[in-house]
A and B are shown apart, each in its own frame.
Chain A
Amino acid sequence: MRLVLPKGNGGITPSQESDRWALLPGLCCQASGGEPDLTAEVSAAWFLLYIAAHLVDSVEDRDQVDEIKALGGPGSAINVANGLFLSASLVLNTLHDQDQTKIKPQELISDFYNTVLVMTSGQHRDINDRQLTLKQWWQVAEAKSGSFFSLACRCGAQLANDNPVKITGYSDYGFHLGMMLQIRDDIEDLKLFLESKESEVPVNLQRSLAVAYALEVLPEADKSQLKELTEIRNHEPEMVNRFIDMLNQSGAGLYMLAEMERHYEMGMASLKNADPCSPAGENLAALIRELKLD
């Protein structure tokens, strides 16, 4: 896949495809006063890692996504993901040939590897802990998504300038955008559960944000009941309705909306701190705005 980086003043309209996230380093670089072409390598490496992480995540979660089927099944998908991880590493090595950037290539490369390690630890916890507490859910979300999207924005800004206010601002913007994506991802799983026509429940309800929240706040008797409902394996309408009613009564929906709003506001505030006004900044604002739930 060819990455199309934003040219000129960054006044492009972000697409709705997942490859739009590959524009994050370029847009943050441009909003920081740099040329987006400086980010070709980091954008490519980040996007390769993004696809690889998605494939591994889908296999480990046993998601029945089209990409896995098209690649020939879970085994083949893991092979492809390994190839993508190594390809990203090879692309990052080419940074050593660059001499026009504000940051040492080795620092950028180390940042990438450290972030991937953090992501991997988050994924490990996600698949090994049967039920996540609310605190654990946020820790996993920060490790898997917040840190990775923060990296995309931070490395773009670092290639353009060494102003710590700007770098922190874009890094924080990326973090909150990643957290919003993780919340949406979780809510999408609930949608999959509710709209499934299959007899088997297709998602692990025990690791969802809504359930983690409800188990944090409900009285003990209700917690036991909810835990039983999360273990249902047959998609019986009556059980599904009881499960959703319990979540609604606990305020799980309001909590998720409030957290989405909180991360949106914090992401926008970070963006304003880093970049009060620029066409590229406007596009970054549009990218986070489209994730809102209303």
Chain B
Amino acid sequence: MALAQVVYQISTDKDFASRMQADPQGALTERGWSLSKEEIAFLLSTLRSNAERSEIRRIVKPLLWYGWR
């Protein structure tokens, strides 16, 4: 559940978010958290490309039904 903790910190602490973009490994180590390289890459790519898109209403808007139906 480390990814959840990191996402929450990014979303509520601007300094941490900036630090994550500049030096993700250092920012995580300071907090005693550990993510895999892949998780850091996923998170940063999502953060950089979807800063506005991560709002719930924006995410759901373009969705058509794909899932189990």
Residues of A within 8 A of B (CB): 16, 18, 50, 53-54, 57, 65, 67, 134-135, 145, 181-182, 184-185, 187-188, 190-191, 194, 210, 213, 216-218, 244, 247-259, 261-262, 265-266, 290-291, 293-294
Contact = CB atoms under 8 A, between A and B. Distances in A.
A258 B56 contact: no
Which 10 pairs between the two chains have the least Cβ-Cβ distance?
Answer: A251-B11, A185-B67, A217-B8, A191-B60, A254-B54, A253-B54, A255-B7, A262-B42, A251-B7, A261-B42
A213 B4 contact: yes
Contacts of A266: 38
Nearest to A216: B4
A134 B1 CA distance: 8
A261 B59 contact: no
27 contacts: A16-B66, A134-B4, A187-B59, A188-B65, A190-B60, A194-B56, A213-B4, A217-B4, A247-B56, A248-B54, A248-B56, A250-B8, A250-B11, A251-B8, A253-B54, A253-B58, A253-B59, A254-B11, A255-B7, A257-B54, A258-B43, A262-B3, A265-B42, A290-B66, A291-B66, A293-B53, A294-B49
Name which of B5, B10, B69 has the most chain A CB atoms within 10 A of its CB.
Answer: B69
Interface residues on B, range: 20 to 34
B34 interface: no
Contacts of B1: 134-135, 216
Contacts of A188: 60, 63, 65-67
Nearest to A65: B69
Given A187-B60, A190-B60, A249 B11 contact: yes
